């Protein structure tokens, strides 16, 4: 989490350099895509019964989501202090929260399928 907070200004810089530029319409798409992507990756592992890879992927995506969300929080703070909040300031935060939500949904699916 600390690493994500430290890397926020660089994340903001890379989001600002995106071509074509990130717009407000991209933020919900990125959030939903992150949720669905993580859920599908882990969900397929659960559906085919691979308990170990599904558990590892769920935990891995949770950690990645925490890192990305903390980087997004730091980028949002940097944007607020600097030029102002725009869609590029929320880009990594929306990815991180989407990945966390997807990992939580996948974890719930894992627990439902492999409940003992």
In tens, the pLDDT along 75-100 reads 888 888 887 888 888 999 999 999 99
**Cα–Cα distance between 110 and 97 in angstroms, integer?**
20
- Report yes or no on 18 lying in a domain: no
- DSSP for 11-80? HHHHHHT-SSPP-TTHHHHHHHHHHHHHHHHHHHHHHTT-HHHHHHHHHHHHHHHHHHHHHHHHHHHHHH
Average pLDDT value for the chain: 87
- Report yes or no on 35 lying in a domain: no
- Report yes or no on 97 lying in a domain: yes
- Report yes or no on 57 lying in a domain: yes
Place of tokens 């909040």: 85
Q: What pLDDT is recorded for position 99?
A: 96
- Report yes or no on 75 lying in a domain: yes
Q: How many domains does the chain have?
A: 1
- Report yes or no on 44 lying in a domain: no
- Report yes or no on 12 lying in a domain: no
Q: What pLDDT is recorded for position 7?
A: 73
- Report yes or no on 27 lying in a domain: no
Residue range(s) defining the domain that contains residue 61: 49-111
Per-residue pLDDT reduced to its tens digit, 10-61: 676 777 778 888 899 999 999 999 999 999 999 899 989 888 998 899 889 9
């Amino acid at each position: 989490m600390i690493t994500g907070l430290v890397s926020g200004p660089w994340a903001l810089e890379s989001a600002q350099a995106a071509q074509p530029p990130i717009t407000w319409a991209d933020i919900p798409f990125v959030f939903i895509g992150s949720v669905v992507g993580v859920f599908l990756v882990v969900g397929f592992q659960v559906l085919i019964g691979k308990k170990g890879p599904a558990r590892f992927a769920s935990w891995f995506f949770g950690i990645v989501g925490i890192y990305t969300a903390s980087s997004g929080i730091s980028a949002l703070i940097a944007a607020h202090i600097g030029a102002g909040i725009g869609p590029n300031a929320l880009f990594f935060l929306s990815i991180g929260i989407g990945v966390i939500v997807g990992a939580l949904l996948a974890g719930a699916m894992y627990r439902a399928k492999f409940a003992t």
